[in-house]
Amino acid sequence: MTKLQTPLTYINEPGLIRNSGVYIKEYGKRVYVAGTKSSYRAVEKEFFKSLEQEHLEYRKVYFEGYPTFDKAKKVSEDIKKYLADVVVAIGGGRVLDGIKASASLAGVPVITIPTIAATSAAYRCDPILYDDKGGFVKTYPNQESPVLILADTEVILKAPIRYLHAGIIDSLAKWYESRPYVRIYPNDLKLKIAIGISKSVYDFLSENLDLILSEAERGIVSDIGIQAVDAIIAFPGMAGSYSSPTKLPGFAHPFYNELTRKRTTKDLLHGEIIGYGLLTQFILEGREESEILKELELFEKLGYDYDLEDTGILQEFQIDELTDVLWNEYNDTFKFLSHIKDKVQYKKAIIKVDSMITSRRGLRKTVC
């Protein structure tokens, strides 16, 4: 069986938020709007003005913290009580995922308005749910994708550049995590399509990275910036929009999921932890040191300088717990790592990445 779940419409345009009401009114008159304090600051004046210009009724609520099932359920009851025609989620991955789940539980269509480009959460059908402390719980199986995504590049590229850095790493991960399966499933059409998209995104971002970052740092919104947002939000979401009996898990995302359950501190973004998982995957795959160094240098252009302590893993028992669960619960699904014979190799790879990061940090200090 093959199943495709994609949004009905995706629009990426500078200044789009000023006309958001024009698009939203197509889905009804009563609008339930959810966001965070920071996401409302990014769009509030022009967004709500646009709703009012189109004579839309709305209820504005705040969704703070991690997206838990209990929180999503509570919000879904509020959505039904308000008799909303459509739900609008504004912000980053946490609020978008939480409200997608809430809208699904309420049986109401959802529109996503990303204010940062740190993941493809605005596009993805299935939201990621956590516990109250930020530990990964599960991917919630939504029945419907967002009906509309409004990506205002002006808003997104005004956000702190750290979010863009993390989003680019997360987008690159789609290629890194899918490419090992080419030799395992050479005749899988869905894999070929997903890999084709992922490789195109990788090529575009890596080849244009200096210009993308230079313009973003200077507050310039040009065609290259618009395409970069597409490469973070739309195309990775598109590559992952199908499901089939053939499961193709990379290493970095399971690494992220389990690390969120073990970490002591929670300072890093999704893409920043994914970066550590990718470097670990490269070592486990047996890639040449020169190739790993080349990819690390690419990450460093994105401000990547995160060792194991930065990820929130402060003690050796946490590494042991992390490697235990990755080995016991995921190893059989990592078909491209069939040459790994015991969990000690996982632990060694994780520690080696830490050594790489700290040694290069020391080298930069010496040079400076």
Task: Give the residue from 308, 274, 311, 293 showing the smallest Cα distance to 93.
Answer: 274
Convert the pLDDT of each residue in 143-202 to its tens digit.
789 999 999 999 999 999 999 999 999 999 999 999 999 889 888 888 888 899 999 999
Segment 337-342 long-range contacts (CB within 8 Å, at least 24 positions apart): 337/251, 337/284, 337/285, 339/286, 340/284
Q: What average pLDDT does this structure show over 192-219?
A: 95
CATH number for domain 251-360, candidates 3.90.1170.50, 1.20.1090.10, 1.10.8.50, 3.30.465.10: 1.20.1090.10
CA distance 233 to 241: 12
CA distance 279 to 299: 10
Q: How confident is the model at residue 244 (pLDDT cuts 50, 70, 90)?
A: low
Cβ contact 305:361 at 8 Å: yes
In the prediction, which pLDDT does 13 show?
96
- Enumerate the domain spans of the chain: 1-248, 251-360
CA distance 243 to 294: 32
pTM of this prediction exceeds 0.85 = yes
CA distance 169 to 119: 9
35/366: higher pLDDT: 35
3-state secondary structure of 86: strand
Instruction: Specify the CATH number of the domain 1-248.
Output: 3.40.50.1970
Task: Give the residue from 155, 196, 180 showing the smallest Cα distance to 42.
Answer: 155
Please enumerate in sequence order all residues whose Cβ is within 8 A of that of 189, keeping only pairs 6 or more positions apart, or say none. Answer: none
Convert the pLDDT of each residue in 26-71 to its tens digit.
999 999 999 999 999 999 889 999 999 999 999 999 999 999 999 9
Q: State both tokens at 9.
A: 């419409």
Residue type for 165, please?
A: H
Please enumerate in sequence order all residues whose Cβ is within 8 A of that of 129, keeping only pairs 6 or more positions apart, or say none. Answer: 67, 68, 69, 72, 97, 98, 101, 137, 138, 139, 140
Q: How confident is the model at residue 246 (pLDDT cuts 50, 70, 90)?
A: low
What is the rounded average pLDDT for all residues in the chain? 93
In the prediction, which pLDDT does 243 show?
62
